Amino acid sequence: MEEFKQVHAQILKLGLFLDSFCGSNLVATCALSKWGSMEYACSIFRQIEEPGSFEYNTMIRGRVNNMNLEETLFLYVEMLERGIEPDKFTYPFVFKACSLLGALKEGVQIHGHIFKAGLDGDTFVQNSLISMYGKCGAIKHAYAVFEQMDERSVASWSAIIGALHKDPMEFKPERFLRHDKGDAKFDLKGTIDIKMMPFGAGRRVCPAISMATLHLEYFVANLVRDFKWTLEEGCEVDMSEKQVFSIVMKNPLRPCVSPRINHLKTSI
């Protein structure tokens, strides 16, 4: 940082700071570098007579990275008041600030601004908007934005999954349960909430779903009835996870299975 300050002083001495390129790069370097200082970056920024969208975007991004979230929104408002038009690089970080603050009301207002800016069809902006609504708990708004997208990227699907499921990358099989009159049940057909559809849904639903479900229940019931299931001595259930094709248990269960002798004798 000391070397940077020396370079800054040299630029001022040579009268090069008036060059917008020098001023912009000084702000970006100081605000976005790991060794930088947002306070010093702000002092440079305030010395620029006519900052543009690039300078404001840099400061907004830097403020978010440093978790100065309220200052981020103040910068955005200042940007509008000075007649500087935000672009597709402005809104993702502004929406991120809203999501971290839980500022849904402000997020909805800024959502209206992107229509005026003609950026409502930009995938980059839409993805950040979905993420903001999801983190603020406005799931219907997030899904509405997702449905209106003409093109969906991998990031779009990740954003909507993150909005619909809390902690989507964690191993939480109970997330697929729905409660019907106090009873927890799996919704295999996706008729209530599309959370889990191993047999498909709609026209593509598996025609043998009823038989498969019946056999699955029968198979599990027999395993429970005829065998005793315990853990290996000294072992505990570890719910930590890892990602392969999907999220699985990092340390799989190693059960000890023994027949229920009394039941087998009765059967014989």
Q: What is the pLDDT of residues 40-95, one digit of tens each?
A: 888 888 888 888 999 999 999 999 999 999 999 999 999 999 999 999 999 999 99
* One domain, residues 140 and 184: no
Q: Which whole-number Å values give the CA distances from 188 to 61, 204, 226, in the listed order?
A: 43, 13, 27
State which of 109, 133, 164 marks the end of a domain. Answer: 164
Q: Return the pLDDT at 194.
A: 52
Question: Domain range spanning residue 26?
Answer: 2-164
* One domain, residues 150 and 66: yes
How many structural domains comprise the chain? Answer: 2
Q: Return the pLDDT at 188.
A: 56
* One domain, residues 102 and 120: yes
Neighbouring-strand partners of residue 248: 242
Q: What is the mean pLDDT of residues 169-182?
A: 63
* One domain, residues 155 and 185: no
* One domain, residues 36 and 78: yes
pLDDT of 142 higher than 70: yes
Q: Return the pLDDT at 73.
A: 94
Q: What is the mean pLDDT of residues 135-159?
A: 89
Q: Whole-prediction pTM value?
A: 0.62
* One domain, residues 13 and 99: yes
Q: What is the mean pLDDT of residues 5-13?
A: 78
- Average pLDDT of the chain is 82
* One domain, residues 180 and 90: no
Q: CATH number, domain at 45?
A: 1.25.40.10
* One domain, residues 154 and 189: no
Between CA 156 and CA 246 the distance in angstroms is 18
Q: What is the mean pLDDT of residues 93-110?
A: 93
Lowest pLDDT segment from 31-35, 161-165, 185-189, 232-236: 185-189
State which of 115, 139, 164 marks the end of a domain. Answer: 164
Q: Residue 206, annotated ligand binder?
A: yes
What percentage of the chain exceeds 70 in pLDDT?
Answer: 80
User: What tens digit of pLDDT does each residue of 187-235 get?
Assistant: 555 555 555 555 565 666 677 777 887 888 888 898 888 888 888 888 8
* One domain, residues 67 and 107: yes
* One domain, residues 100 and 150: yes
CB atoms under 10 Å from CB of 151, counted, come to: 8
* One domain, residues 85 and 118: yes
State which of 164, 193, 215 marks the end of a domain. Answer: 164
* One domain, residues 258 and 160: no
What's the length of the chain? 268
pLDDT of 268 higher than 50: no
Helix 20-32, helix 53-65: angle, nearest 10: 10
